């Protein structure tokens, strides 16, 4: 069993570099399905597990891919006939696998994809994705855990979304690029990752307008071709390092962080007494020993990002007084708080609201990461805690962070990742010596 082990109490100091955005990379990988001619070259692609999971799915669909970790470059070639079936084994690990549905439908006229399944942050239906495909003219059948969609050709139309779902907006955008006529997505998601997808699609020959606003207009084209694109820095990774500096009363420069992408976080940090200085090489985050409580609500962009909620609650628990966190994006994203109780946190949860009493004197304990960001939150609590914290299931962190503990160690944290079985594994040589008994002279 692997664990991250942290000896807390060390203020973080130094520089940390942010990788390319995981949540931008995944839809951009899926968009490569649309290129009937030429290759799609993506730069600044982070070497994280989710990107590898998407890569495995795309290769199953017959797309040729080559990734150079050193240069963070991924080249995708979809110029051959593609399979339109995505089996359960290839989609059950990651929700974002559903993003192949729109482009496959546009490219091949049919798709059969297993439903991506449950998730520890709550139910994650795909009804808005399906609604979008239906509005574009696809016939959809859901049976035996699969979504099956087919169409002669897709036709542009008005698609008002009940909720600005990031994934549904991306799927619809990709499907609509080759639809006949104009598609208008209303109440579209506005996340920077949506703008990234539109930028790549437009470089591939699509005509997408308004990405980043509530209304996206897509004029269908006959075909899409290859293009090269560099992915933006990961705003969630950047935010995690900013919070790591704040919870340890540190002084960290988060390199490549784009301030506008973390505006809600910056505003809350400043409200709590943390100093943020915008520098040419990134954001300098200076902690404080007197944290002011704050109330936070997660919301679609540009609101406070749900993917920074667990990390933020650690800072709120350290503040001098009562803070609240309202989780409005996912229904079950407070599992990390129950683990933090083991580290001396005091709070109550009432529906979507966590009411937290600070200041918390975190004490090290053994805890388990239920998902990627819960894991990040627990490690941050460990950095702020007295004594030793052990975080189980560190593989959760690999989904979206590259070299998580190594980067923290470079900032001065006392942190390691160990395989407990390795430590206690019986050395075969020693065992055979023991079995033989003492060597004769
Ligand atoms: C790979 C990726 O980019 N993941 C991000 C993306 O996830 P994802 O694209 O899954 O997030 P959505 O914006 O779609 O989901 C937000 C909410 O809408 C609901 N919903 C969504 C689709 C649907 O068809 N029906 C429906 O009810 C979900 O259950 C959830 O409660 O945006 C989330 C919200 O910022 C982030 O936390 C994830 O890190
Ligand atoms: C929830 C996340 O990702 P996904 O949507 O892929 O589960 C995340 O990155 O925190």
pLDDT greater at residue 93 or residue 160: 160
Give all domains of the chain, ordered by start, each with its CATH number: 2-19+234-424 (3.65.10.10), 22-230 (3.65.10.10)
Q: Which of 329, 333, 372 to mutate to test the pocket of ligand 2 (most atoms within 8 A of CB)?
A: 372
Return d(Cα 109, Cα 180) in angstroms, integer.
Answer: 13
Per-residue model confidence (pLDDT) at position 423: 56
Per-residue model confidence (pLDDT) at position 106: 97
Return d(Cα 354, Cα 342) in angstroms, integer.
Answer: 16
By mean pLDDT, which of 123-127, 176-180, 243-247, 282-286 is the weakest?
A: 123-127
Per-residue model confidence (pLDDT) at position 433: 52
Of 179, 177, 216, 221, which is closest to residue 194 (Cα–Cα)? Answer: 216
- Please say if 119 is a catalytic residue: yes
Return d(Cα 166, Cα 190) in angstroms, integer.
Answer: 8
% of the chain at pLDDT higher than 70: 95
Q: Is 265 in the pocket of ligand 2 (CB under 6 A)?
A: no
Span 351-359, average pLDDT: 97
% of the chain at pLDDT higher than 90: 91
Q: Is 373 in the pocket of ligand 2 (CB under 6 A)?
A: yes
What are the pLDDT digits (tens) for 85-134?
999 999 988 999 999 999 999 999 999 999 986 678 988 899 999 999 99
β-strand partners of 246: none
Annotated active-site residue in 80, 119, 151, 190 = 119
What are the pLDDT digits (tens) for 170-218?
999 999 999 999 999 999 999 999 999 999 999 999 999 999 999 999 9
> Quick check: ipTM above 0.95?
yes
Span 394-410, average pLDDT: 97
- State the pTM of this model: 0.95
Per-residue model confidence (pLDDT) at position 440: 40
């Amino acid at each position: 069993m692997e664990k991250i082990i942290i000896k807390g109490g060390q203020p973080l100091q130094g520089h940390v570099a942010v990788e390319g955005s995981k949540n931008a990379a995944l839809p951009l990988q899926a968009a490569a399905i649309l290129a009937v001619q030429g290759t799609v070259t993506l730069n600044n692609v982070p070497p994280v597990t989710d990107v590898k999971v998407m890569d495995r799915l795309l290769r199953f669909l017959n797309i040729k891919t080559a990734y150079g970790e050193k240069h963070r470059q991924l080249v995708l070639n979809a110029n051959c006939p593609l399979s339109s079936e995505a089996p359960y084994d290839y989609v059950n690990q990651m929700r974002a696998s559903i993003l192949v549905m729109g482009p496959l439908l546009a490219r091949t006229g049919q798709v059969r994809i297993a439903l991506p399944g449950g998730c520890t942050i709550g139910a994650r239906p795909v009804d808005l994705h399906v609604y979008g495909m239906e509005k574009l003219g696809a016939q959809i059948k859901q049976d035996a855990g699969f979504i099956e969609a087919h169409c002669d050709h897709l036709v542009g139309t008005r698609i008002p979304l009940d909720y600005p779902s990031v994934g549904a907006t991306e799927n619809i955008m990709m499907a609509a690029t080759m639809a006949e006529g104009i598609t208008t997505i209303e109440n579209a998601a506005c996340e920077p990752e949506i703008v990234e997808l539109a930028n790549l699609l437009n470089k591939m020959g699509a005509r997408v307008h308004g990405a980043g606003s509530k209304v996206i207009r897509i004029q269908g084209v006959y075909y899409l071709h290859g293009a090269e694109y560099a992915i933006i820095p990961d705003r969630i990774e950047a935010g995690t390092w900013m919070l790591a500096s704040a919870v340890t009363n540190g002084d960290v420069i988060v390199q490549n962080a784009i301030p506008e992408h973390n505006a809600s976080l910056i505003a809350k940090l400043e409200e709590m007494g943390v100093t943020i200085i915008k520098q040419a090489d990134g954001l300098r985050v200076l902690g404080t020993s007197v944290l002011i409580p704050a109330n936070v609500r997660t919301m679609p962009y540009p609101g406070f990002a749900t993917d920074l909620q667990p990390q933020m609650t650690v800072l709120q628990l350290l503040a001098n007084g009562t803070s609240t966190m309202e989780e409005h994006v996912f229904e079950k994203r407070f599992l990390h708080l129950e683990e933090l109780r083991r580290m001396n946190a005091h709070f109550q949860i009432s529906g979507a609201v966590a009411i937290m009493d600070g200041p918390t004197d975190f004490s090290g304990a053994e805890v388990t990461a239920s998902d990627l960001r819960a894991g990040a939150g627990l490690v941050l609590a460990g950095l702020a805690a007295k004594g030793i914290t052990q975080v189980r299931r560190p593989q959760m962190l690999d989904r979206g962070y590259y070299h998580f503990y190594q980067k923290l160690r470079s900032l001065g944290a006392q942190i390691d990742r160990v395989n407990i079985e390795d430590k206690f594994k019986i050395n075969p040589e020693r065992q055979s010596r023991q079995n033989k008994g003492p060597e004769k002279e």
